Amino acid sequence: MIHFREELDEMQSRLLEMAGLVESAIHQSVAALVHRDEQSAKEVLWKEALINQKDIEIDEYATRLLALYQPMARDMRFLTAVIKINGDLERMGDLAVNITQRALSLMRDPPVRPLIDIPQMANLAEEMVRKSLDALVKRDEELARSVLVSDDEVDRLRDAVYKELVAFMQEQSTTIPRAVDLMFIAHNLERIADHATNIAEDVLFLVKGIDVRHHAEVREQTALAKP
């Protein structure tokens, strides 16, 4: 079984490599927005091609390991978790591209105003992605739970961004197309945070064998700081 253990380690390394690419794509998509930086935008588009390639490779590798070995309980859970986490990471790559496309569209016009809470949302979402993968590596239940708590904060920030942008559009109708771009950027960040939450839930399933998806009570218990 030593060989299988090595394969599982290799599997995890590949997933983390994928995650590294996705994290940097998210970071650069926000940099493209904040600094109006076309070079960052180009790098996101280039990285997405790599991410898509890795997505397929990881799926194939995980499926091969499932077929070759006959993994029991925990190893089986790990491999099915890899397939799901891989899917979440790939979707995050797509969302980074969406943010980048909006950022490129915004570069063509003068800046609307300070970006409200969007950079703060981005920081929080990026941190959630990092923590969810960290929780996977360390099989760390507490860290995984902290991601679920942050998700509520991201939702709160998104609501604030929407409200401000609607008020802003109503004041000055010429800004509407740009405000719509910003609204969708906030939406994409919120979805990145959702995917990080999915990963944290998969980690909890892996570590504890309990399924916390759709179980509001678990999330409420962990959300100590909620008003």
> What 8-state DSSP symbol labels residue 175?
G
Closest to a second copy by CB, 142 vs 217, is 217
The one segment of 59-67, 109-117, 119-127, 136-144 that binds a second copy by CB under 8 A = 59-67
The one segment of 2-10, 106-114, 135-143, 210-218 that binds a second copy by CB under 8 A = 210-218
Token pair belonging to 29:
């998509």
Give the one residue of 6, 20, 46, 53 binding a second copy; rule: CB under 8 A. 53
User: From CA 125, how far away is CA 17, in angstroms rounded?
Assistant: 19
| Contact yes or no for 186/158 (Cβ under 8 A) | yes
Give the one residue of 16, 87, 146, 149 binding a second copy; rule: CB under 8 A. 87
Which residues ranging from 111 to 170 are in contact with a second copy (CB under 8 A)? 162, 166, 169-170
Token pair belonging to 129:
């992605």
State the nearest-atom distance from the C-beta of 35 to a second copy, in Å: 26
The one segment of 1-9, 50-58, 122-130, 143-151 that binds a second copy by CB under 8 A = 50-58
Token pair belonging to 38:
């076309």
Helix-then-strand count for the chain, H and E: 7, 0
Q: How many CB atoms lie within 10 A of CB 193?
A: 29
Number of residues that bind a second copy (CB under 8 A): 34
Give the one residue of 36, 42, 77, 130 binding a second copy; rule: CB under 8 A. 77
What single letter denotes the amino acid at residue 60?
A: E
